[in-house]
Structure 1
Amino acid sequence: MCLGIPAKIIAITDLANSLALAETAGVQRQVSVAMLTLKGKTIESLVGEWVLLHVGFAMALINQEEADRALDLLAQMDPDSQ
């Protein structure tokens, strides 16, 4: 079973190696965006986009609504958020 965590791309940190800075729940980490299918977009255009992260890799682009829904569900799983 895999868990994808929504995160927002806030910066491209290494264009040559397809690395970006992503943020979720106030936590920032460097992730690889090399596996994303960009469909004519540039890597630089990912800034501000939402992605699903799995073990440091952005696996898919998602929209704001999908990100909000997933983050709400994850928050419900946290007993401390109740």
Structure 2
Amino acid sequence: MKCHRVNELVELLHPAWQQEPDLNLVQFLQKLAQEAGYQGNLNGLTDDILIYHLKMRGSDKTDAIPGLVKDYEEDFKTAILRARGIIKE
């Protein structure tokens, strides 16, 4: 894991964990894993799962995943034309 990933995870984890002060870190990670739908062992839980779950936690189920919003186009035709380089930024 790169240093910026650690920083991002800590920045997201800190305020969320403060809302659950009665849980220790492992218990809180287990809770996040369950919320995210992760069913494996905790040692297989990736930073990506935690980061995206913490970013999306509390948002509407229909909200776009952070990082994909920048690529979102209202209609399919515009998306194809932009992907082929016909429409420039």
Q: Which has the larger radius of gyration?
A: 2
Please give the TM-score of this superposition, normalised by the length of structure 1. Answer: 0.29
Please give the TM-score of this superposition, normalised by the length of structure 2. Answer: 0.28
* Structure (1/2) with the larger strand percentage: 1
* Structure (1/2) with the larger helix percentage: 2
